[in-house]
Structure 1
Amino acid sequence: MFINRKTHYLSNSLFCASGIHLLANLILFIARKLIRSKNASRPDMLNSRILMSQFIVSSLMLLVMAFVFVSKWRALKKSLSVVEESDKLKMAVLQQEVMGSSVPTLSGDAIIQLLELWGVILVGVRLVYDISSIVYRKFILNLTELADYTKELREQYVMIYNSSHGFKYISLLVALLLGLFMTGICLKDRLLKAMALLLISFFLISFVLLGMQTVTVGDYRIGIVWSSLIFHFTETFGLLGLGIYLRRRYVGV
């Protein structure tokens, strides 16, 4: 059985997820600026206030994200429940005959499966990511206890911190790209599958080879960790782009 072609449950959910991530990152950016420690050479995760702000924002983000996907899932389930399970196949055949080429690309059940997939990734795997970030912070704290804060050791420590930054993101990024790849499989879309492989390749190259690059803008030196940049781009503009692509290319998705 197919649903109303104007509902767009999946793409709307991805739009919401992108907006939630973008807002959360903006709030954390402002929080870091306001409460950053005076010792700029030390990582933000050594600042307990920044850690608390990250915990609060992440918790709220998980709750809102769960609400979005659960509400969309329930709404879609309700739409499908108007027809008995035994009659859904007959209804799908009738819809294809009547609607022709304007019939939605995926059945309601297929969209439910994709909603469940992305919900697990953006809520469940995100929770695992937050827990692993706490463990990563403990690892960084243990490193700081091994060295006195001379200038040379501090610089070496910062290099270690920056070069290992990708460990924080790799689990969630792989889950996001797996979701993209599985969506491509469901839709038989080679472009989505190719994009997933391309992004993970870029991430691995940046993680292994690039490390942190320093850019001077005016009187300021800005450190760019490419693995972090790719991750945050994927969870914000990547999801937004995916939602736009699905809505424009596929009917009712």
Structure 2
Amino acid sequence: MFINRKTHYLSDSLFCASGIHLLANLILFIARQLIRSKNASRPDMLNSRILMSQFIVSSLAVLVMAIVFVSKWRALKKSLSVVEESDKLKMAVLQQEVMGSSVPTLSGDAIIQLLELWGVILVGVRLVYDISSIVYRKFILNLTELADYTKELREQYVMIYNSSHGFKYISLLVALLLGLFMTGICLKDRLLKAMALLLISFFLISFVLLGMQTVTVGDYRIGIVWSSLIFHFTETFGLLGLGIYLRRRYVGV
């Protein structure tokens, strides 16, 4: 059986995930500014208040995403349960006749599988990412304790921090791009598969070859880690773009 063309389960879930990430990042940005104003001399990585705010916001974001995916999954399951198995093929043939063969469609069971795939990535793998971030922070703290404050060692510390920063993102980024590639396989969509390969190539190039670039804006010096930029772009605007693409191109997805 195929889903009604006005019903969108996976794309709506991806829209919500993108919005949740944007809102979480905005809250963290505001929290960091408030905490920095009270303790401006302490780096973010060493600030326990910033760590606590990140943990709370990330936990709430994962919880909300879990609710979104479970609710969409249950709603789709309920919609499919009202139709007998013997009638699903007839309805699929009828829908194909009404819409024509030029309109891409996907079965309800296939959409459930994609919902489960992205639910595991955006909830389960996200938890792994949050735990890995805590371990990475402990590594940086231990590294900080070994270094003194001479200029040479401080520069070496910054270099190690910049070169290792991508390790924090690689698990979730690979999962996101694997989900994108698997979605392309299920939909037989070459563009989605090509985008996944392109993004992982950009990430590897930025991780291996590009260091942190410093940009001066007014009186502020902002360090840009390109692997971090690619990751955050993918988990927010990338998911938003994927949701828009699926809604426009595929019926009911």
TM-score category of the 2 structures, normalised to the smaller one: over 0.9
Question: Percent of pairs identical after alignment?
Answer: 98
Contact conserved, 2:4 with 2:251, CA < 8 A, in 1? no
Residues 241 and 18 (structure 1), Cα distance of their counterparts in 2 relative to 1, 3 Å cut: same
Tell me how far apart the structure 2 counterparts of residues 152 and 41 of structure 1 sit (CA, whole Å).
20
Contact conserved, 1:102 with 1:251, CA < 8 A, in 2? no
The Cα of 1:110 is off from its aligned counterpart by 0.5
Secondary structure at 1:8 match in 2 = coil
TM-score, normalization: structure 1?
0.94
Residues 33 and 196 (structure 1), Cα distance of their counterparts in 2 relative to 1, 3 Å cut: same
Contact conserved, 1:42 with 1:158, CA < 8 A, in 2? no
Q: State the partner residue of 1:134.
A: 134
Residues 162 and 115 (structure 1), Cα distance of their counterparts in 2 relative to 1, 3 Å cut: same
Contact conserved, 2:147 with 2:153, CA < 8 A, in 1? yes
What stretches of structure 1 of length at least 5 have no aligned partner?
none
Residues 31 and 155 (structure 1), Cα distance of their counterparts in 2 relative to 1, 3 Å cut: farther
Secondary structure at 1:216 match in 2 = strand
Q: Deviations over 1:61-94 (max 9, x none)?
A: 0100000000000000000000123432333233
Tell me how far apart the structure 2 counterparts of residues 42 and 192 of structure 1 sit (CA, whole Å).
43
Contact conserved, 1:214 with 1:222, CA < 8 A, in 2? yes
Residues 14 and 168 (structure 1), Cα distance of their counterparts in 2 relative to 1, 3 Å cut: same
Contact conserved, 1:212 with 1:223, CA < 8 A, in 2? yes
Please provide the CA RMSD for this pair.
1.8
Residues 163 and 42 (structure 1), Cα distance of their counterparts in 2 relative to 1, 3 Å cut: farther
The Cα of 1:103 is off from its aligned counterpart by 6.5
The Cα of 1:170 is off from its aligned counterpart by 0.4
Identify which range, 100-109 or 21-30, moves more after superposition: 100-109
Contact conserved, 1:95 with 1:103, CA < 8 A, in 2? no
The Cα of 1:177 is off from its aligned counterpart by 0.4
Residues 41 and 197 (structure 1), Cα distance of their counterparts in 2 relative to 1, 3 Å cut: farther
What stretches of structure 2 of length at least 5 have no aligned partner?
none
TM-score, normalization: structure 2?
0.94
Identify which range, 90-99 or 144-153, moves more after superposition: 90-99
> Runs of 4+ in structure 1 displaced over 6 angstroms?
37-41
Residues 104 and 81 (structure 1), Cα distance of their counterparts in 2 relative to 1, 3 Å cut: farther
Secondary structure at 2:224 match in 1 = strand
Contact conserved, 2:103 with 2:250, CA < 8 A, in 1? no
The Cα of 1:46 is off from its aligned counterpart by 1.2
